[in-house]
């Protein structure tokens, strides 16, 4: 079970980035996301709406305190940061854990997050994107099979197409 | 050589997402990005500034027409889209090409892009993020070694750290 913890969400500035974090988590096999920072019910509802439409069990919720969430989480806590240890070296270890929380920050991440987590992991030590870092982390943890994850009870499904769009809707 | 073509950039709405696309491309081993859509000199300059500071040869430029850019590109053209064929099945083929252009859209991608490209490739057929799709595409094309890419002439460098930040500046 993989939980994503999106820290420091700002309602106006991060709506799109936080949505992308959630969608990437869902598409690549995480199980749920907890948003921290400013409360944003519309965002939570939009993510859950995507799950209802596109299938699967991914769910979103809100927590007032990332500290409490980290403290009470029973399992392995991973913080994704460009300052951390190489993803390609650590993925093998993390992959074996059964309960994983992946903490993903927005701009500035408070110091204590680095200490509260069991791993600080970097998908390259270059500046890029928390959305990409999460995608790469899930890819390395789950392997290529994660691309073919099934989403039961979908109302809409896309079928691979060479140069067009093949979308089917189900009642 | 890998060129990223970021299509349909909107100055106000996409500044952050387009920046992330560029940074992900740079960090994971692409060589340059061409922005299309609204001209945004500040964005081009910001990306080139990152390269000057963090090293390497990644560069950004602007083109008025994605159609012209696609038409004149000599090499293999790949469009990343959730409607395409599975990344995990196509990466092996694409990996062998020497000149690759990766087209990445914003919201709505015009129909002719699907036809002008040699491949339409999906990193899952689920809705998520063009930033993540690009990261996963580069990861599958380049393999895990892309995480350890070197960036010569960096003025700032991050060294992996278990639970802190280790940053060195060079004159």
Encode pLDDT of A77-94 as tens digits.
999 999 999 999 999 999
Model confidence at A108, pLDDT cuts 50, 70, 90, reads confident
Backbone phi and psi for residue B8, each to the nearest 5 degrees, phi listed first: 65, 35
Chain A positions in Cβ-Cβ contact with residue B159 (cut-off 8 Å):
125
| Inter-chain CB proximity A126 and B160 less than 8 Å | no
Q: At what angle do helices B130-142 and B15-27 cross, to 10 degrees?
A: 10
What is the distance in angstroms between the Cα of B163 and the nearest Cα belonging to chain A? 5
Residue pair B69/B36 in contact by the 8 Å Cβ criterion: yes
Asked if pLDDT for residue B55 goes beyond 80, the answer is: yes
| pTM of the complete model | 0.98
Of B95, B3, B149, B90, nearest in space to A128 by CA: B149
Asked if pLDDT for residue B171 goes beyond 90, the answer is: no
Model confidence at A106, pLDDT cuts 50, 70, 90, reads confident
The mean per-residue pLDDT over the stretch A31-43 comes to: 97
| Inter-chain CB proximity B157 and A83 less than 8 Å | no
pLDDT for position B107: 74
SS (H, E, C) B102-129: EEECCCCCCHHHHHHCCEEEECCCCCCC
Residue of B nearest to A20 (CA): B129
pLDDT digits (tens, 9 = 90+) for B109-148: 999 999 999 999 999 999 999 999 999 999 999 999 999 9
pLDDT for position A171: 75
In this predicted complex, what is the ipTM?
Answer: 0.97
| Inter-chain CB proximity B16 and A17 less than 8 Å | yes
Spatial distance between the Cα atoms of B117 and B166, rounded to a whole number of angstroms: 42
Residue A7 parent element (H or E): strand A2-9
Place of tokens 């799109």: A16
Q: What share of chain A has pLDDT > 90, as a percent?
A: 98
Chain B positions in Cβ-Cβ contact with residue A27 (cut-off 8 Å):
123-124, 126-128, 132
């Amino acid at each position: 079970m993989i939980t994503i913890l999106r820290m420091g969400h700002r309602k106006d500035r991060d709506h799109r980035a936080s949505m992308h974090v959630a969608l990437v988590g869902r598409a690549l096999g995480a199980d749920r996301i907890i948003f921290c920072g400013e409360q944003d019910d519309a965002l939570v509802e939009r993510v859950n709406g995507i799950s209802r439409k596109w299938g699967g069990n991914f769910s979103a919720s809100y927590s007032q305190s990332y500290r409490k969430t980290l403290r009470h989480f029973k399992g392995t806590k991973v913080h994704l940061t460009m300052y951390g240890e190489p993803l390609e070296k650590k993925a093998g270890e993390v992959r074996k854990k059964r309960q994983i929380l992946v903490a993903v920050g927005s701009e500035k991440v408070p110091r204590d997050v680095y200490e509260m987590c069991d791993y600080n992991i970097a998908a390259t030590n270059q500046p890029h994107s928390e959305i990409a870092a999460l995608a790469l982390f899930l890819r390395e943890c789950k392997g290529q099979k994660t691309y073919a994850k099934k989403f039961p009870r979908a109302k809409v499904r896309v079928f691979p197409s060479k140069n067009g769009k093949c979308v089917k809707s189900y009642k």
